[in-house]
Structure 1
């Protein structure tokens, strides 16, 4: 297959199906969707992957707990919950993978066979600590360090028989079972060398430092199979063993682009799509994506992804104390995506979480802040500009946009504000600095609102001799709206499409954003529609 555009392959984590999607899973997914939409507008052939992680002990337990006759039946019941929320949030994924699909089984089994053939896995017995809720193994050193950190904070000592998980602080259990091991220890120096030669592989910098510290602390071989239950993908050369759920899950990024499938078409797809440009993940799975996954790929002789972007957790700002608190049902502060959508609407939901929440660190959210951002940025600024400008165009130019004036390149505050906007915006977007990108657009929108007050089009309209001046002013405003609608489209695709419709422009987002941001693109002369407010003000 011939490809006229360069590939841009972006992924979310695949989500565990022991519970329905929540605010955190939606956060990762919208974050990846915004980047996917930006890259499509930037003339890339985008593949945006998300999906469900369906194997492992926790899934089998969830199926039994919820009265399903099989783990597969439970997984099948969960799929609509994820797909429906992603459809509601206007997620533009090109693929939805499930780890129970045949294509994924083929990819995992091929990968395991390659590891065996290349001498990077071996059979032994595992005797060590295991976190059942997180389905994660921990070394004696990791467990000891965690206990030392807890004691340094003045916490009570844990039960030596059941020390606490370094990730979730729940009791670990000691397990002994036959297992296949991956020679992770062989990749300590290769990983450190790779991090040094690819300083942008892990972003942001704080997460990179965290990974470096972990790897420099020493790596031990990793158990990658389970033999005490069968809900997983069998090893092709040892059917008594199923793949450890995290190894199984990571390989989805390959199986989704044809790895493991037969034929030239699949081989061509792998060659075109791999390596991925970016994995978007939460900080809780950083070791899997930034240590284990690159080591596995090195062992299999495959290229590594270009980048892993690691975001923090969402917390809740206590509106009485101002403190950031962990979101939990027991605290009564858990927020469901549907609740936020009900308050803000879908596009404003996307805007708030992408443009007002810091992505690289844990970020507090609050209902008060949501209302504040909605009213300030969307209702009072962007929505107000669109409403006033289209109203004046319709009123002063017989329901149409003024035709692009001959002197449209004349220096004006708005033309000046838009100079270099694409370059500034794109630099922020590439770095996942969505707040910075949105501020660039908001600055132009604010400049346009000030321009209305400074130029007073209502006064110009009273003087027939200033008709050309009025046409230039209104055209300038509509041109800013056109450009802003393209720049806001990755964040607020539905509203941007509606704005373009009201301007009698194509509702499809551009596939050449740099060109779309050039001054002078609005021909004018077409009908305009004020319409209802895009963002009605929220009142307490």
Structure 2
């Protein structure tokens, strides 16, 4: 009950604000929700930045915008990641990754209105309600499923989708064959309705060539799909059957329905690898449950590295936080928007990012603003007076065309047109030569029009470069919150006090890094192979190794609780020790076990060594790592002749090795004697930038076991040391 005038005023204000909001045109945009198998990389940032640009643009148009992103936290991959990285529960792992994403989105100036997490109670409730609606429609039944399952995609895939080598095209791994009793969704029932909807709504799937792919796929005939998992423990219970969990993709897609007052979405933005889920399964689910379909699904291409999709599982992911720290948030946002036509794949290039920063942001935009405001400061006492519009300056201002490019989801064309106008402004100032004009009226008119042009540019670029444009607004004494696209017309600027401020963009000197993959030759000689020794090699580059990391310290302190030695693997090491009559020293895994037994945790050496020690102990595998810059020639496991140079770790004393023993050597020296002691010359320190890594197995270790181990080590090292990795064999 309202009791006083203040409450009446507040109530009236809230009512007017609500009424005003209801009158606005709604615009709802989504990104996919991202897996929590690892921290965000620049591929995730690409999707999210483009969506943010579109959301900000529609806010400039005074629309009622809702921008949703979030995390897909259910499924087996979450459980596996939590175990791998030593977290006490899947939820603890999800909470950690959620913080990493939120930190990254803050650094990238992402303006999302909600951040959905599929472990939240609201999502569990929605998923169960939706599934019950589909059950009620009669579109769910129980059956047996046999299929190829890709753990990377967390999805079943058909043989026709595999590469010639039998790998998943997205994750470059062979899928597993699974047999399960599951619940199925009658996807086959909706093929005609889907084709009709696509035909009647030409802009439903974009780009056009993606639409043709989907149409062709549907015409081949749709099969009913499994929507539950019997083997999962981490997920949402299937309604009416506690022994099953709702399939992670089925529940993940439902996240888009949370802001129900905004559904259907205007644009659902995603990478091309998940378009079939969003253009076939998702609309069929919505038709079954009685929901409207999204207005547009847009699948952008991949941001690639050397032509390969960027992915943590492929070891080529780049941390966007590193890029923003090095080049600035807006430089990265600009590069994403400008560099690649959105529907196509584009190779990420740090060199090209620097070129865009220097040539376009610093030279074109920064120079225009600096020259104009410096002249106003020096010649007009930092004040520009309102003046007549010079139409010749604004002939290349194409706001309607820029807006159309945004509506058509062509941000690269929109920003190119904005910079065409910036180029015209730079030509204008060069032609007018205001630095040579002494008549105040004539000078004011030129600089007024240039300042007004900068004001308009700051509005048009705000969606792309929010941080920079807010600085420009301060320079022009403008209130960012009051700006709109409708104000992007000449002549609005009034008499204004100018605050020149700082230089907006500092140029960067690009240094072609020497730290590239060199693909060093690494091998095991036949003589060593006959001992049953197997080795997997990897190369890691551009590492940032530190003394310690609290995340690693936590993993190390918990290792004693979870560690169980693999007796069979250790027996393999013991076997060839007896065969070679080795009496001095013991396998490095035993050394780690002794340290944990004595101290309760693994030692702190540095973030690289600590990372591989964790996996070495967990897998009972011998691991070696060598500073690549101190390795000469091929790295090989060979039988010693007895004359090799060997300086044991943390000593300066040369020691002999026994003829007939084996070890890891290069062309000059012993890198590691047996599986016992590494050489000092190639040890990994905080100064090390590039590493040759190996995992050494024996007769009891399978190829798959070694491959899994070396990938886990590489991923852990990248997590705590940055950089990139590549499996060599």
- Correspondence for 2:515: none
Q: CA deviation at 1:460?
A: 1.5
CA distance 1:432–1:251, shift in 2 (3 Å)? same
Please say if residues 387 and 531 of structure 1, whose CA atoms lie closer than 8 Å, have aligned partners that are also in contact: no
Q: Which residue of 2 aligns with 1:360?
A: 343
Shift of 1:409: 3.5
**How do 1:330-409 and structure 2 match up within 5 A?**
334-401=317-384, 403-405=385-387, 408-409=388-389
> Following TM superposition, by how much is the alpha carbon of 1:69 offset from its aligned partner in structure 2, in angstroms?
2.4
**Counterpart position of 2:508:** 538
1:426 & 1:538 partners in 2: Cα distance? Answer: 31
Using the alignment, how far apart are the partners of 1:171 and 1:504 within structure 2? 59
Q: Aligned partners of 2:314, 2:236: CA distance in 1, in Å?
A: 38
Deviations 1:447-497 (A, max 9, x none): 111111111112212xx3xx3221110001001000000000001001101
Which residue is equivalent to 1:527?
Answer: 497
Q: Measured at CA, do residues 104 and 397 of structure 1 come closer, stay the same or move farther in structure 2, by a change above 3 Å?
A: same
Query: Residue 207 of structure 2 aligns with which residue?
Result: 204
| Aligned counterparts of 2:404 and 2:72: Cα–Cα separation in 1 | 33
Measured against aligned partners, the alpha-carbon deviations of 1:282-304 in whole angstroms (never above 9, x if no partner) come to 01111111110001001111100
Residue 66 of structure 1 deviates from its aligned partner by: 1.6
- Cα pair 2:170 2:309 within 8 Å, conserved: no
Q: Deviations over 1:220-276 (max 9, x none)?
A: 00000011122111122222211100011000001x21xxxxxxxxxxxx2x31101
- CA, structure 1 residues 27+286, in 2 after alignment: closer, same or farther (shift >3 Å)? same
Please name the residue that 1:417 is paired with.
396
Distance in 1 (CA, whole Å) between partners of 2:30 and 2:350 is 29
Aligned length: 491
* Mapped partners of 2:172, 2:373: distance in 1: 56
Deviation at 1:176, TM superposition (A): 1.6
Pick from 239, 242, 246: which aligns with 2:242? 239
Q: Distance in 1 between matches of 2:437 and 2:169?
A: 68
**Following the alignment from structure 2 to structure 1, what is the Cα–Cα distance between the partners of residues 466 and 363?**
19
Alignment of 1:437-456 (within 5 A): 437-456=414-433
Distance in 1 separating the partners of 2:290 and 2:480: 44
What 5-or-longer segments of structure 2 have no aligned partner? 1-17, 511-729
Query: Residue 283 of structure 1 contacts residue 310 of structure 1 at CA under 8 Å; is this kept in 2?
Result: yes
Contact 1:497 / 1:509 at 8 angstroms: preserved in 2?
Answer: no
- Kept in 2, the 8 Å contact 1:393–1:528? The answer is yes
Structure 1 residues 329, 278: CA separation in 2 closer, same or farther (over 3 Å shift)? Answer: closer
What whole-Å deviation, never above 9, does each CA across 1:350-392 have from its counterpart, x for those lacking one?
A: 1011112222111012121111111111000000001110111
- The two structures, once aligned, show a CA RMSD in angstroms of 1.7
CA distance in 2, matches of 1:226, 1:289: 20
Match of 2:254 in 1: 251
**Match in the other structure for 1:517:** 488
1:426 equivalent among 403, 408, 429: 403
2:66–2:113: 8 Å Cα contact kept in structure 1?
Answer: yes
Q: CA deviation at 1:166?
A: 5.0
Q: Does 1:46 align with 2:65?
A: yes
Cα separation, partners in 2 of 1:410 and 1:229, compared to 1, 3 Å: closer
Gaps (5+ residues) in structure 1?
A: 151-157, 258-269, 318-323
Q: Which residue of 1 aligns with 2:281?
A: 292
In 2: Cα distance, 1:339 partner to 1:440 partner: 30
Three-state SS of the structure 2 residue aligned to 1:417 is: coil
> Contact 1:497 / 1:508 at 8 angstroms: preserved in 2?
no
Structure 2 residue aligned with 1:261: none
Tell me, yes or no, if structure 1 residue 276 matches structure 2 residue 265: yes
For residues 310-321 of structure 1, the aligned pairs below 5 Å read 310-316=299-305
- TM-superposed CA distance for 1:68, in Å, is 1.9
- Residues 460-499 of structure 1 mapped to structure 2, 5 A cutoff: 460-461=437-438, 464=439, 467-499=440-472
| Counterpart Cα distance in 2 of 1:242 and 1:379 | 53
CA distance in 2, matches of 1:62, 1:427: 43
Q: Relative contact order (alpha carbons < 8 A, sep ≥ 6): 1 or 2 greater?
A: 1
Given that 2:304 and 2:345 are in contact with CA atoms closer than 8 Å, whether structure 1 keeps it comes out as yes
> 1:167, CA displacement in angstroms?
4.2
Q: Please say if residues 38 and 312 of structure 2, whose CA atoms lie closer than 8 Å, have aligned partners that are also in contact.
A: no
Question: Could you list the per-position Cα deviations for residues 386-445 of structure 1 after superposition, in whole angstroms to 9, with x for gaps in the alignment?
Answer: 1110111122211112x112xx2343x212222xx2201101111121111111111111
Question: Structure 1 residues 308-317 or 94-103, which shifts more?
Answer: 308-317
2:35 to 2, 7, 16: 16
In structure 1, the partner of 2:727 is none
- Does 391-400 or 49-58 show the bigger shift? 391-400
CA distance in 2, matches of 1:373, 1:9: 31
C-alpha deviations, 1:479-536, integer Å up to 9, x for none?
Answer: 10000000000010011011011011113362x30x2111111112x22122221011
1:55-134 to 2 correspondences below 5 Å: 55-134=74-153
Question: What residue is the counterpart of 1:178 in the other structure?
Answer: 181
- Conserved? CA contact 2:107–2:324, under 8 Å: no
Which is higher, the Rg of structure 1 or of structure 2? 2
Q: Verify the 8 A CA contact 1:357 1:365 in the aligned structure 2.
A: no
What is the SS of the residue equivalent to 1:273?
A: coil
CA contact (8 A) 1:486 1:509 kept: no
Contact 2:147 2:179 (C-alpha < 8 Å) held by counterparts: yes
Conservation of the 8 A alpha-carbon contact between 1:498 and 1:507: no
Deviation at 1:333, TM superposition (A): 5.6
Query: C-alpha distance in 1, partners of 2:455/2:390?
Result: 18
| Residues 1:459 and 2:436 are matched in the alignment | yes
SS of the counterpart of 2:23?
coil
CA contact (8 A) 2:205 2:279 kept: yes
Distance between the aligned counterparts of 1:523 and 1:331, measured in 2?
55
Determine the C-alpha separation between the residues in 1 that align with 2:408 and 2:458.
21
TM-score, scaled to structure 1: 0.88
